[in-house]
A and B are shown apart, each in its own frame.
Chain A
């Protein structure tokens, strides 16, 4: 037996470690699957629209969004939303989601139905600011719901003096 032969064998093996650039021809089951995926995407769109119209008609709709300014160094761990002191949603953030927010994405945090009248929305932000300091901050907004859809945006930015996070709530 020749050790060199083993080395030649391993040569072939090791070059499989490199980036594989080859693209094989498309088999038919994959094509069929792609076409079906497209159909299901179209169906999912109809389903989401139907659900929204049914459960959250425009007259009673409340939607809450979150955005983060790109100069903010605040690392959001989690967020909790309370409406009239009742917890309506909470979210624990993964790295990809934080990156998406940092790149300018806007997250729809909550969508629901709400009766007309005066209500209070409280957002609790948990996370780390610049300098690894831990923050837990509440921000509230009292608003009036009428017969139109209500949209509220939570914004995390940074103060111009120091690296303190700033939390704002605004209505559209």
Chain B
């Protein structure tokens, strides 16, 4: 039952049901449940204990230990454990194992070893991801050809049907496009970038890179068209600012100065507007906190702009939420807030349940006292004794004992015995029942106090976590502001450059006019 709860994602349910014996006999399952519920320090301590005590474990246990060590970024123990899980894994588990092993080797600086692991005729989404990561490692080390080959393999292993598979393919194509572009292979870059879905999270990057490749190929119009395609994306998405600045640059290079001026001006306006939006969000977070700003449902009073659609895909709130959640530390804090919120709701539920139990137990206690008072044990005992006497007299006085009469006597005797037993049982229930209900009432009261204390602590800890999350988000906002100011300045520089160019052209034209009649004016 606990295995079902863990595998189906109900880690809290599983942990609540585990007793000490189960934890001792199934340390790996216990560690998995702890990690699923992000009680990581406890899970790490347990993994160290398993390593030291070396209990008897199955291959599947070693696989799970390897997966946990990987998730905790402990690559050497991960590799040791994963090596022990060789044969008794399902096909999908083998792919997962290969993913963890190859990523560990990449982290430890051994990409050839990672490639060797992946080459063992495996397929599926796990391996596709692993090849993608290998490609990124090759690209970071300037091994472009190997990177491109790995990307091709990653794409071929990906069915590309589900949303997650499509997302991976889009990232593969953007990375490949980037590599081809850097290598001067513009047609190939355009070809792969064309495969990125228009509603993908990396579509803006793909459009920007495509535009650059088209411009390098001398196709100015196609380039500006690609860059114009990012207008449906939010400004903070990667590739959008760059595209907005690339359009006027291309116009300027092609000699269309008035269009360049207009585009620089438009870009500048958008950057300025976005800075205003960022400042509003910053003050929202400082005033209300992270949870009401980003996590709570419902309209924020007077802040309809935050929830209005301003692009084909997203509200402002949605776009910024995605932006912040791309940061690992912020993601961890927000995830933690969500978990604590669930626990808070659980404590709220138990608080009401215990209040209901308290009422029910008190009512049961009153009814029990009333009924036990009305039960006259002595009277019943006397009646039973009386029946026994009469039965004895009957058996003595009967002269001709027929078998029927004997049989009836036996039945009556058995019923007498049964009555005595039931009377004994009822007396015990009356004696124990009262104290049992009192104990239950006491337990209920104690649990109510504990739940109350937990609710209080949860509130305090959530406030701390929210404060830290807000701090991280505000730092990210600061960095974003710097980026936008930089982009704004680039737009200003561009505008200045175009105006200077226009002024220079004007001045040359004037000089030509004055020279025409041979005299200087």
Contact = CB atoms under 8 A, between A and B. Distances in A.
Interface string A33-53: 110111111011111101101
A15 to B, nearest CB: 6
Given A18-B133, A41-B12, A50-B443, A1 B4 contact: no
Contact of B16 (A10, A24, A44, A96): A44
Contact of B249 (A1, A37, A44): A1
B514 interface: no
B12 to A, nearest CB: 7
B171 interface: yes
Contacts of A36: 340, 454, 457-458, 461
B9 A1 contact: no
Interface in B152-188: 171, 174-175, 178, 181-182
B266 interface: no
Contacts of B3: 100, 103-106
Interface stretch (B295-303, B342-350, B367-375): B342-350
Contacts of B137: 18
Given A14-B175, A29-B468, A37-B38, A100 B8 contact: yes
B377 interface: no
B440 A54 contact: yes
Interface string B193-207: 000000000100100
A18 B467 CA distance: 29
Interface stretch (B119-127, B237-245, B500-508): B237-245
A13 B238 contact: yes
Pairs A-B, 6 closest by C-beta atoms: A105-B4, A100-B7, A18-B136, A44-B16, A29-B464, A100-B8
Contact of B454 (A19, A32, A43, A108): A43
B2 to A, nearest CB: 8
19 contacts: A3-B215, A7-B212, A28-B464, A29-B461, A32-B461, A32-B464, A34-B42, A36-B454, A37-B39, A39-B454, A40-B454, A43-B447, A44-B16, A54-B361, A65-B1, A96-B8, A100-B6, A100-B7, A106-B3
Contacts, number: 178
B283 interface: no
Nearest to A13: B238
Interface string B39-60: 1111000000000000000000
Interface residues of A, number: 57
Taking chain A's interface residues, is the majority helix, strand, or loop, or is none over half, making it mixed? helix
B246 interface: yes
Contacts of A38: 39, 42
A14 B206 CA distance: 11
A21 B73 contact: yes
B15 interface: yes
Nearest to B135: A18
A34 B454 contact: no
B219 interface: no
A164 to B, nearest CB: 24
B336 A33 contact: yes
B73 to A, nearest CB: 5
Nearest to A23: B73
B184 to A, nearest CB: 12
B4 A100 contact: yes
Contacts of B386: none
Interface of B: 1, 3-9, 12, 15-19, 37-42, 72-73, 103, 107, 132-133, 136-137, 139-140, 171, 174-175, 178, 181-182, 202, 205, 208-209, 212, 215-216, 238-239, 242, 245-246, 249, 326, 328-329, 332-333, 336, 339-340, 343, 346-347, 350, 353-354, 357, 361, 440, 443-444, 447, 450-451, 454, 457-458, 461, 464-465, 467-468, 490, 493-494
Contact of B490 (A1, A11, A47): A1
A51 B215 CA distance: 70
A107 to B, nearest CB: 5
B480 to A, nearest CB: 13
A109 to B, nearest CB: 10
A41 B39 contact: yes
Specify which of B3, B4, B208, B465 lies most central, judged by the most chain A CB atoms within 10 Å of its CB: B4
Contact of A105 (B8, B332, B447): B8
Contacts of A101: 4
Interface of A: 1, 3, 6-7, 9-11, 13-24, 26-34, 36-41, 43-48, 50-51, 53-54, 65, 94, 96-97, 99-101, 103-108
Contacts of A37: 37-39, 339-340, 343
Contacts of B18: 45
Contacts of B353: 47, 51
A66 to B, nearest CB: 9
A51 B440 CA distance: 10
A46 B461 CA distance: 22
Contacts of B493: 1
Contacts of A40: 343, 346-347, 454, 458
Contact of B212 (A3, A19, A23, A47): A3
Contacts of B328: 20, 22, 24
A48 B450 CA distance: 14
A106 to B, nearest CB: 5
B300 to A, nearest CB: 25
Given A7-B181, A17-B175, A34-B38, A105 B457 contact: no
A50 B450 CA distance: 13
B447 A50 contact: yes
Contacts of B361: 54
B444 A43 contact: no
Contacts of B37: 37, 41
